[in-house]
Structure formats: C-alpha cells, structure tokens
Amino acid sequence: MKSDLLLAVTQLAAERSLPPNIVVSAVQDALTAAYKRDEVAGGEDIVVELDPETGEVTVHTVRNVVEEVEDPGSQWTLEEARTHDPHAQVGDQIRTGLIESNPGRIAAQTAKQLVMQRLRNAERELVFDEYVGKEGEVVTATVQRIDPRFVTLDLGRAEAIMPPSEQVQRERYRPGMRLKVYISEVRRSVRGPEIIGSRTHIELLRKLFETEVPEIFNGVVEIKSIAREPGARSKVAVFSNQEGVDPVGACVGLRGIRIQNVVNELMGEKIDVVEYSEDPVQFISSSLSPAQVDKVTLNHEENSAEVIVPDRQLSLAIGREGQNARLAAKLTNWHIDIKSSLEEAPVTVEKPEVAAEAVEEAVSTEEAAVAEAVDAVAIEAVEVSEAADTDVAAEAPAEETVAVEESDVPSAVEKAAEIIDESAASDTSAEEELALLALEEEIKALEAQEKADAERAEQELAAAAAAVNSDDIWQVGDSESDDGGRLRFAEDIVGYRDMSSGRRSRRGRGGNNLSPKARRAQAKKAASSSTPDNKS
C-alpha cells in the first residue's frame, strides 16, 4: 500500500509536470479533509503526514490552543494545553493521538476529488508564474480553435486568446497555423490564468526586428519610434549608436533578406525603414519617404509643420487615403500639413480694383484684335478663291483639258499664312497666341481640302480627254456583211431564249413523251396520208 501510494504520487507529478513536493502536499491536504469527515476522527482536527521517501502515511489527532474555547472537541485553553506540553503557546497544535490510516469508501472518494482540485490549482499557479514573466515578449503559438469572436492559441502548457481588437482584419487564421504572438497581458480569472495574445501591437514589430537584426539586439542600432497600421503599412525610425554603421542598411540586410523575413511573418505588411535625426526638419523629410520634400516650415508653438513637395509628388506624399502622411505624423509626433509647390507660389496684387479693370480691358482689346485678324483672313480667303475660280474658268477651253499652274494664282491658304506670320511677328498676348494657333489649324484643314479638290479635278479632266480621243466601242457593222445567225445584242439573245424555250415546251407536250412503238405507228400514218392514191 505504501509503495503503491508513492508510485501514484510520482506518476501524478510526471503527468502534470508538477514538482513532487506539490503533489505530496496536495495528497496530505486531501487526506486531512477526508479523515475529518470520517467517524474515526470523532470531530477532532486531523493532521496527515506522508513520507515522500517511504510513502508511509501517519494520521494524528490535534487540538488547537486558543484563549477562549469555542469548539471543545478541537480546541484547548492555554492551561489545558500546558498539561500535555509545558511549552505550549496560543496558536499551537498539540497532537493528542494516532488514527489508523484505513479510510472508508466515502473518505477515499472525497480525497480523490480534493487531490484533483488541488492539482489543478497548482497547475494554474505554475502557469501564471511562468507566463507572467513572459508578458511583453513574443512567443510562437499554434491556432487551436476559431470562435466567432476569439481565436484560441496553444502555447504548450497553456492557452491564450486573441480578442477581435488584437486581430489583424486582413489576416485569415486557420487551425494548425503557427504564428508569432505578442503577450500583451496575463491576468487571473475564475478559470485560471488568462493570457491575451496580440498581432496588432507595435511592440510585436520591435521584437521581430530584434530577432532578425543582431545590431538591434546588441544595441548598436536603436529603434527610436514606430508607427503602424496593422496589416497595411508601418514606418520604423532607426538610429545608429556606432559611427560607420548604416542603420537602415542593417535593418534591410543583404538583398533585403532581413526585412523580408519580418514582412513574411506579418503576412505581407509593408514596412518603411527611415533614418532618425535630431533635426526635426530632416526627420520629417525622411518620414515622408518615398516622396521628395522641397521645404519644411516648423511652428513650435502649435507643434505643427508645413511641408512643401513638388506638384507631381503630392499624391505620393499623402498616400492612399492619407496613409503616408498619417504614419509620418505618428512617427515624428508632429502635426504635418502637406502642400504642393503650386499652392505655395504667392500671387500679390496691390490694388485689386485697378488690376481687375486692367485685366478686363486687356482681354477685350485682345479679343477685338483676334476677331479682326480672323475676319481679314476669311475675307482674303474668299477673294482669293473667287479669283482663282474665275481665272480657271476663263482659261480652260470647252473641248480640251488645260492645266492651271498653282504659281499663277495665289491660294487663300498662302494669304492666310502671310497674315498669321505678320501677326505672330508683333507682340501678342497669351489669348492672341491661342487664337492664332486655332487659326493655323483651320488653315491646315483648308490646305488639305484644297489639295484634295485639285486632285479630283485633274482626274475628271483626264477622264474627259480620254473619252474624246477614243473610238466608239459600241459601233455595229452592216447587217448585210455580218454572218447570218450571229447574235450581237441583248435583245437577240432574249428572243432566242424565248424561242428555244417554246420549242422545248412543245416537244415536251408532243411525241417526245411517246414510246418508240407509238412513234413508229404515228410516222407510218403520216406517210400514208401524204402519198397520192394510185388507184384514183
């Protein structure tokens, strides 16, 4: 019995990964509670001793020394206690006898339940003591169970949970997936220690960099600040404490292998590593990377900065939905206002009323000049086109083609081009230049149309000349010299077809459909009728 009890205690300690002394203490407390409920104790207090070496169990009855007795069955006064032990003091326990260690069935069942309860409590205490020291560290966990709200993680000896606030919305978890989790909090609860894991904490990114970058772990490179939007993008400001060490290059690694490991662990989250500077202007300029910054103006009273970027870099500096500017503000702890270089260019007007009148007058003058130039070009174009048409009609004969040379008559396009060149030579405003450009486009269109018309006219004249010089291909010779029966015209062909079709139809209705015997009989009858009667 003794060896069996000792063997059971050893096995429990091994299964529960508990120290043997904790298991022995739990068994002693369980046996004490079981014997108190047994009739053998007689209502007295019980103390059980278990020898961890031999497994021997000893049960003693005891009395508690108190100043005023409330329970005569388990308490003694100081005078009564000193009759058994002269050195007794208030609060001591005095052993009064031994009880045979042979508990009944009820006592054994009670002891078993109490042992299991004490072992569970001991396990919880050990787990709490172990993981309360790991608070603020990164551990590797396995996704065990996915509930509608929480994700349960297996840490080995304990379980952790990830509330919705600690989960990355873009990540999809599956049972059996291994993750790096930041232990954000360890607290006691009714069901034991409650461990809170996080995938969104800023310190998770810091710990991952410490794991992947030895310079950060050794203190050569220091992470000054971190701004993170979990699952989307992060910015990390690093600083080198040793001269000659590139902090950004140390974090990125050869061919980006170090930072790529961190990105893979965070499931594709983009990370920008920038160099920290004590100069706020330089630091703010670096924090807006990859955008280029032209100028930074600081306002120390309001802790704000106005940043001027090139116009083409404005959208890059702000980022999608303001993400880049927002992360830069968190990283630098400055309120950043981003403007383009076009917005920064000042426009000063000393007298607004006079300037407005001058602008209106200049615009009206320019519009009038442009309108006059357009009218003049249109008039010249019409006159030149009419003159050209008249000259061509006078010189061209009625029966033969005469080519008109372009050098004899100046075209409307050339006149308009000369007027445009003259107007362009003078000082013109921006609106006049725009009007002249539009007029040039119209003139180019007129040139193309005039060229097409000239080509078409040349083709028509060439066709007419060829028709005049050629013979009539439809001339028909005399009917007497023609061979008889030869067809020349479509009417003859149609008539021939009609006649042939008529003959074919008559043959079809006639004897062509008769049998050979009937045709022979019909032929004999025709011959006999056509021969004269010899007798007559």
pLDDT in tens, the chain (536 residues): 455 767 777 777 787 778 877 888 888 788 777 777 666 666 667 777 777 777 677 777 777 777 777 776 677 777 777 777 777 777 777 777 667 666 666 667 777 788 888 888 888 888 888 888 888 999 999 999 998 889 999 998 888 999 999 999 889 999 999 999 999 999 888 888 899 999 999 999 999 999 999 999 999 999 999 999 999 999 999 999 998 899 999 999 999 999 999 999 999 999 999 999 999 999 999 999 999 999 999 999 999 999 999 999 999 999 999 999 999 999 999 999 999 888 765 444 344 444 445 446 654 665 565 566 556 655 655 554 555 454 444 444 433 433 334 444 445 445 555 555 555 555 445 556 666 777 777 788 888 888 888 888 888 777 776 665 544 444 444 444 444 444 444 444 444 444 444 444 444 444 455 666 676 677 667 666 655 544 43
Alpha carbons within 13 angstroms on the beta-carbon side of residue 251 total 26
Contact 334, 305 (CB under 8 A): yes
Rounded-to-integer distance, Cα 283 and Cα 304, Å = 13
Strand 57-65 and strand 75-76: pairing? parallel
Strand 57-65 and strand 45-50: pairing? antiparallel
Residue 482's SS3 state is coil
Rounded-to-integer distance, Cα 388 and Cα 31, Å = 131
Closest CA to 362 of 350, 354, 374: 354
Kindly state the tokens that stand for 301. 């009273």
The Cβ of residue 400 has, within 10 Å, a number of other Cβ atoms equal to 11
Sign of the four-CA dihedral 58, 63, 64, 70: positive
**Total count of residues recorded for the chain:** 536
Rg (CA), the chain: 57
Kindly state the tokens that stand for 335. 């309120």
CATH topology of domain 277-346: GMP Synthetase; Chain A, domain 3 (3.30.300)
Per-residue CA distances from 400 to 145, 405, 434 (Å) = 102, 16, 47
Q: What's the one-letter identity of residue 357? A: E
* pLDDT at position 20: 77
pTM of the complete model beyond 0.75: no
CA angle 318, 323, 326 (to 5 degrees): 85
Rounded-to-integer distance, Cα 99 and Cα 31, Å = 12
Q: How far apart are the first and last CA of the chain?
A: 168
Domains in the chain: boundaries: 2-128, 133-198, 277-346, 352-394+405-456
Hunting for tokens 């310190």 — which residue is that? 203
Per-residue CA distances from 434 to 23, 75, 366, 448 (Å) = 98, 115, 11, 22
Rounded-to-integer distance, Cα 181 and Cα 138, Å = 5
Phi first, then psi, for residue 236 (nearest 5°) are: -125, 125
Rounded-to-integer distance, Cα 336 and Cα 310, Å = 16
Closest CA to 73 of 94, 98, 28, 42: 42
Hunting for tokens 């209106």 — which residue is that? 360
CATH number for the 133-198 domain, one of 2.20.25.10, 2.40.50.140, 3.40.190.10, 2.40.400.10?
Answer: 2.40.50.140
Q: Please tell me what DSSP assigns to residue 294.
A: S
Q: What superfamily in CATH does domain 2-128 come from?
A: NusA, N-terminal domain (3.30.1480.10)
Contact 213, 252 (CB under 8 A): no
- Cis ω before 290 (30° cut-off from 0): yes
Q: Is 256 left (phi over 0), alpha (psi -120 to 50) or beta?
A: left
* pLDDT at position 478: 44
Rounded-to-integer distance, Cα 256 and Cα 251, Å = 8
Closest CA to 247 of 277, 268, 271: 277
Residues in CB range of 271: below 8 A, 6 or more apart = 205, 233, 234, 235, 236, 259, 262, 263
